[in-house]
Every structure is written in C-alpha cells, then in structure tokens.
Chains A and B, each alone.
Chain A
Amino acid sequence: MSEATLSNKTLTTRIALLGNPNVGKSTIFNYLTGLNQKIGNYPGVTVDKKSGSVQINGETFEILDLPGTYSLFPNSEDEIIAHRVLNQTKLEAKPDYVLMVIDSSQLSRGLFLATQLMDLGVNLALILNMADLAEKRNIEIKTFELFKSIGVPILSTDARNQKGLEEVKNLISQRNFRKAPGFIDIQQVIPSEMLNQVLEKFELENHYQAYQMIRFGSKDKAIPASDRAWLENLIQTSNFDLEEAQLEETKIRYRKITELVTKALFKKSGSKPSSNLDQVFLHPVFGYVIFVAILLLIFQTIFSWAAYPMDFIDGLFANISASIGTMLPDGPLTRLLAEGLIPGIGGVVIFIPQIAILFGFLAILEDTGYMSRVVFLMDRWMRPFGLHGKSIVPLVSGVACAIPGVMAARNISNWKEKMITILVTPLMSCSARLPVYIILIGLTVPDEVVLGFINLQALALLSLYLLGIFGVLGTALLLKFILKTTEKSFLLSELPPYRIPRWSDVGITMFEKSKTFVFEAGKVILAISIILWVLASYGPPSRMDQIRIEGQARLESVTDETQITEIEAEITAQLLENSYIGIMGRAIEPLIKPLGYDWKIGIALITSFAAREVFIATMATIYSIGGDLENDLTIREKLDQQINSNTGEKTFNRASSFSLMVFYVFAMQCMSTLAIVKRETKSWKWPLIQTAYMTILAYVMALITYQIFS
C-alpha cells in the first residue's frame, strides 16, 4: 500500500449509525449516502457490513450502518455486530463517532440504548427522529432539559418528511459529538475487583467496557480462544451470577431513565386515536384473506411485469452473442465469448427484473408497517416446522424465484431459523420449473375434464406445487431436529404504525439488492456457466474431429435446404453426445436407469444444473429439433416419438415423465441459487450440503414415483 492511500484511510472520519428497529435509521442512512453504499463482511457472522460515504463541504465521511438493536446485550447475530463494533478495538476499526437515532414517540426505549453508549464512553450525538409521530401523539420533548441531563448533542428530525436533515450533515461536518459522563455506575452490580482485572488485561477504557467483556466476551467467537478461556475462568472462580447482574443493570438504568423522561417529556392530554386498520389486517379471518390477496397481486405483477424486461434481456444477449459470432473470426476464443461468456452474463442479468420487482414490493410492505403484521399472523403456523413468522416471506418469494427468497431470509435474526429457511426455500416450485412441468404434463397427462370441472393437467400441475410445499415442511421439520443453536427463538417485535412508503427508499432497496446479486453471486454463476460450456463444447478430440469430418462429407453430398438443416442439427446432437458432458451423461446412466431415464436425459440433467429451463433447450439439441424452440408442439411431438433403448418403450411414458417431474420438484438444478446461498451463508459448506440433500431427495422421490407408475 502506498503512503498516500494509507494516510487517506486514517484521515476519513468513521461514523456509526445506530438505533432501535423501526426508527427511520435507514432513511437517514439513505439520505446521507444515497447510492454510495457498499456491502462488506464482518468476520465469523452472516450479517452484512453496510457502509457508505458522504461528502460534506468537500470532506469525506464514512457512515457505518449498524443493524437495529434495543440494547448492547447481544441476543442475535445482528446485535452481536453492534456490540462488537462498539466494544472491540482490535477486530473492527472502532468508529470515531456514534450517531444514534431515537424514535421521539418512544423516548425511554431509545434512551436505554443511548445511555448504554454513554457508559461505554463513545463520542455520541442523538437524533430524535419521527418528530411528526410524537406531535401526533401529543408528546413534547424538552430537548434542552434532556441535553442538560445527559450532556450529548441532540437534534430533532422528521426524516420521512425531509425535515432537519441538513442539520444532521452540519453536525457531522462540525464533529459535534461528545463523550458523555457515565449514566449509571456499573460497580453497583459487579465487584470492582473483577472489573479492574478485565480492564487491565484487555487495556479497556472504563468499567462498562470491562463489564461488557465479562458478560459477553467469553461467548464471542471473534475473540481469541485463550482470552475466552481466561474470561471463562474468571467468571467461574468468582462464582458471580452475571445474568442476575444484567437484570439488575436493566432495572437501575430504566429507573434513572424514567426519572429523566418525567422531567424532559411533556404529554398533552387528548392524544389522537391511533388507526384502526389492524381491526381488519389482524382479523383472524379477514387478516389471512387480505394477506393471500396481496400475495396474488404481487405474483400477478411479477409474472406479467417481469416477463417484458426478461424477454428483452434474453433477446439482447442472444443478439450480442450472434453478432460477436459473426463479427469476430471463428475460433475457440470467439466461441468462448459468444457461447460461454455472453450467455453466462445474460444468465445473471436475466434475474434482475424478478429480484428488483420482488424487493420493491417487499420494501413497500416493510415500509408501510404491514410486514410485521404478516409475521404476527403467520408465526403460529411456521413455528411447528422450526421456522419463524418471518420465514413466510422467503418461502412465498420462492414461488417466483428462490434467489430473492434466500436473500430475504436475512431479516430472520435467529441463526437456526434463518438456516432452515435458506435450506428449504429452493424446494418451493419456482417459475423456472414451470416450462419443464408444462412440457412433461402436456406429454403424458391427457387434457381431459373429470368430475365435471377438474382439468387433469391443471390437477397435475397443482400436485407438483403441493409436492414442493410438502417437501419444504417435511425438510424443515427434519432440520429442526438436526440443527443446533444456543440462541433462543423469540418474536417480541413492534407493530409500527401504518405509514405511506418512502419511494426513494424503495428505489434504493431495489437497486442495492440487484447490485448485490449481480456482483456477489454473478462471479460464481459466470464461473460455473463457463465450465459447463467448456464441458458441453469439447470432447475427446479424435471423436469430435471424426464427427465433424463425416458431417462435412454428408453436407457436401446434399443440396436441398431442408436436408442441410436436418444434417446440421444431427451433427450438433452428435457433438453434444460425444462432448465431456455427453460422456458424463452416459456414465451416470446406470445410476438414473432405476428412475426410468436413459443417457440422453442424463445429459439434460447435467446441463440443466445451470438453470432448470436449460433442460428443454438440451432436449431440443439432443433430439436435433433445431431452430424453432418457441414452438412447444414441435418439441412435444419429437419427445413423444423417442424410444428408450434400454426398455424399448417410449422414453417419455407416464412413469418416466412423472418421475422426471418429481425429480425437478426437489432437485437443486440452479447454480444461481447455489451462488446466492453461498453468498448469504458466507461459506461453501451450506450450498454444498443443500445441493447434496436436494439431489438425494429428488433421486429417492423420483425412484418411488417411477416404481409406482411403471
């Protein structure tokens, strides 16, 4: 690193933004940083590090957005981050200043965290946000009174309506933060001797830091094992009840806060009644009806809106590939570019519309306050399966696409519930499975109506979706007993008042989520698609060359246009059959024979690992259907004629088609999901476990299906 960049780095002032959940912290973060946001990692946890930069009067400040928390007592991974960033000087560069956002209408709750920060001895300033809400509730805060008592700068804002935000910038630029005197004396609850020992050992600044280290340090995996053991030993030998101390601290702190709030807060009588929307939205019957209606609306929109940009992207990348193929001289590099790289990038970009639209809706639901009502309604039905009320969002998103679903699982704070949700979400039948289902159902299920109104094909399709849902619930139930955690599961959340969504925040969410997907998961997707392309385009040179030479000879012998097309399609099929992927397809034939498949389907199973819909394109290539993929009928007729060389029966008879559909219900078959799971869990372990279990599940279920129907 050059000297210039080094000094630059130390000069940038770092400000941590902290607050309770639902206090408008992200609106302030978005206001300050706009699109200058970046996502990074904290060591050892799956929580993202969200930061951004802001230029004020020509000076750059780095803003670190910490996850929302009610206290510095870490109950979840989210809260561990706040705890760790503010406590540890060695692991995370400690922020220079802390800007804490408080909901003006919930002063006591906000002050609980604020006074903990004061005790930690951080350079602090407070923002009393949501001034409009406080006013609506007839709450008046005597800011000066509050300032006199706690001694840190205080600002009043209404971020939703853009009020007071300029002052926030001024405060930052003037570095108007103060290290407040301690609020409570922690020596009231913990023996001084113990505090001093820890203070010296870890070179801490004050007793409250020492207390935090004693209370939580031994459980924080980011601390060296020897230090953790030392702390453990200290706690054991002192024989001191730390949990009791923590409760005592909470009581003392709240007692002082109540005194303070009585002085600083004036509540006029006759507060306006709060909205009665919850009478409907939380209604035991209508609540669910409305939820289902909203879901239907969202899906309707995703399917109808996303189709246009997706078709456009599809066409665009096909055109780029084609023009590169014709413009550049033919050769391995051009083919890699035109057939491997460009379609690979296209395969990443194609997901953007679905991700952006879905996250747009989720942001609206979150911002209006409705999402927490959904959690309230669904928690009871999710819990028996080891899931949380919040798991409903990823699972339902999974019907459109597992990628945004897995990304949405981030909001679940309990590690175990989050992992179960991520692991089972890809079992929901996503939109990419639909083309495979439709072709195979069209092939084997008669288009007949039974019992007067039930269409058999529709019934088959519904069964596949239901099968996916049973897969989700069954697997979740199993994982509930396998995965272990010491974190306790809890709901305990606020149902914030209903509000109009802030469109700029919705826009930023859509942009940030798409960006995260493209840049974080895109790398993996691109790498896998290039590998798959190489395997599908190359084979043992002797065999491949022979096919090409023979093919050339045949082509020269005919002149008829249609014959040429036919022969070309046959050559393509032969090349694929003899490529490395073709050889792999043949190699797995003994394995997939019991499922009713031949080696040709084997090839399609391997290629469609890139994405499920590739199955159809591969089938078209293998059976040399040629150009017109859009026409379902051609491919269906072709498939219908195929004879399985092992059994002498139709390749796609009822048993093998059912078996194949069931295989696609359960199999992972999507490298993009794999990549996003890797990204969200921050390790290769979970995506690999997930691929393994889903493949085994798919195999067993397909085997059972084949045995039943054959």
Chain B
Amino acid sequence: MPKGEFRPMTADSLPLNKSGKIVEILSSPLKINLLELGFLPGIQISLRYQAPSGGPMAFLMEETLLALRKSEAALIRVELI
C-alpha cells in the first residue's frame, strides 16, 4: 500500500496483534464512556485477545488492557499501522 493511504476501518475488524491509530469515535450514547477511558484520536491501540463467537475484545492501549464488546469496538475508527 502506498504511503499516506489507509483503509478506513473500525477497531472490531482489527486483525489480532495488529495496531491501529484512533481516527475518531463514532457518535453513539457510549461515545462519552469511550472518551473518558482515554480512547482519543491519535492514540494507538492493538488487539490482543478475542473471546470466541463474537465475544468481547481486549485492546492494549498504552500500558493497559481494556475489554470492549465487539459493538463497542465498532465505534472506534482506526487506521491500520
């Protein structure tokens, strides 16, 4: 992929052990909850664990492991690094 281009994707489709940089948090009643936890544009997250059958996902953000439901991760737009 040429430099400067990225595929727009949300964190729930991030491949395991891959990192993404947060572009924006999509509008939802949960947006504020994500922001107050520190899911802010520019922050880097990586998918570390995935519960089976569409269960929750665990992202590493800076030093902390955070568990999110798939539907919650789908609110985080990221660009794959």
Contact = CB atoms under 8 A, between A and B. Distances in A.
Nearest to A71: B36
A492 B36 CA distance: 11
A282 interface: yes
Identify which of A106, A251, A488, A495 gathers the most chain B CB atoms within 10 Å of its CB: A495
A73 B66 contact: no
Contacts of B31: 247
A652 B67 CA distance: 52
Given A491-B72, A492-B34, A278 B49 contact: yes
Interface string A120-146: 000000000000000001010000000
A490 interface: yes
Nearest to B30: A490
B26 to A, nearest CB: 12
B56 A278 contact: no
A380 interface: yes
Contacts, number: 99
Contact of B38 (A109, A381, A496): A109
A380 B33 contact: no
Nearest to A69: B36
A494 B66 contact: yes
Given A494-B64, A495-B58, A246 B34 contact: no
Interface residues of B, number: 29
A490 B67 contact: no
A247 B55 CA distance: 28
Contacts of A75: 32-33
A106 B69 contact: no
Interface string A95-129: 00000000001101100100000000000000000
B34 to A, nearest CB: 7
Contacts of B68: 491-492
Contacts of B66: 492-495
A372 B29 CA distance: 23
Contact of B63 (A106, A243, A284): A106
B58 A490 contact: no
A377 B32 contact: no
A511 interface: no
Given A250-B32, A284-B52, A380-B55, A494 B67 contact: yes
Interface in A62-93: 70-71, 73, 75
A380 B54 contact: yes
B67 A377 contact: no
A284 B51 contact: yes
Contact of B36 (A73, A278, A376): A73
Contact of B40 (A254, A372, A376, A377): A254
Contacts of B65: 274, 278, 494-496
Interface string A562-601: 0000000000000000000000000000000000000000
Interface string A157-198: 000000000000000000000000000000000000000000
B49 A492 contact: no
Nearest to B41: A251
A492 B30 contact: yes
Nearest to B65: A495
A389 B30 CA distance: 18
Interface string B13-49: 0000000000000000111111111101000000011
B36 A112 contact: yes
Interface of B is mostly: mixed
A654 B54 CA distance: 45
Contacts of A274: 63, 65
A271 interface: yes
Contacts of B53: 380
Contacts of A662: none
A512 interface: no
A210 interface: no
A11 B33 CA distance: 38
A282 B54 contact: no
A278 B38 CA distance: 22
B67 A73 contact: no
A490 B72 contact: yes
B20 to A, nearest CB: 18
Interface in A14-70: 70
A376 B51 contact: yes
Given A282-B49, A389-B56, A495-B67, A246 B32 contact: yes
Given A282-B58, A376-B67, A491-B69, A109 B37 contact: yes
B37 A379 contact: no
Given A73-B32, A247-B31, A250-B35, A493 B55 contact: no
Contacts of B34: 492
A39 B35 CA distance: 33
A373 to B, nearest CB: 9
29 contacts: A70-B33, A105-B64, A108-B38, A112-B36, A112-B38, A254-B35, A274-B63, A282-B58, A284-B50, A284-B52, A376-B49, A376-B51, A376-B55, A376-B56, A377-B51, A379-B69, A380-B52, A380-B56, A488-B29, A490-B69, A491-B56, A491-B67, A492-B33, A492-B34, A492-B66, A492-B67, A492-B68, A495-B58, A495-B66
Interface of A: 70-71, 73, 75, 105-106, 108-109, 112, 137, 139, 243, 246-247, 250-251, 254, 271, 274, 278, 282, 284, 372, 375-377, 379-381, 389, 488, 490-496
User: A-B pairs with the 8 shortest C-beta distances?
Assistant: A380-B55, A495-B65, A284-B52, A71-B36, A282-B49, A250-B35, A491-B69, A70-B36
Given A490-B33, A492-B66, 6 more contacts: A73-B32, A109-B38, A137-B63, A278-B65, A381-B55, A492-B67
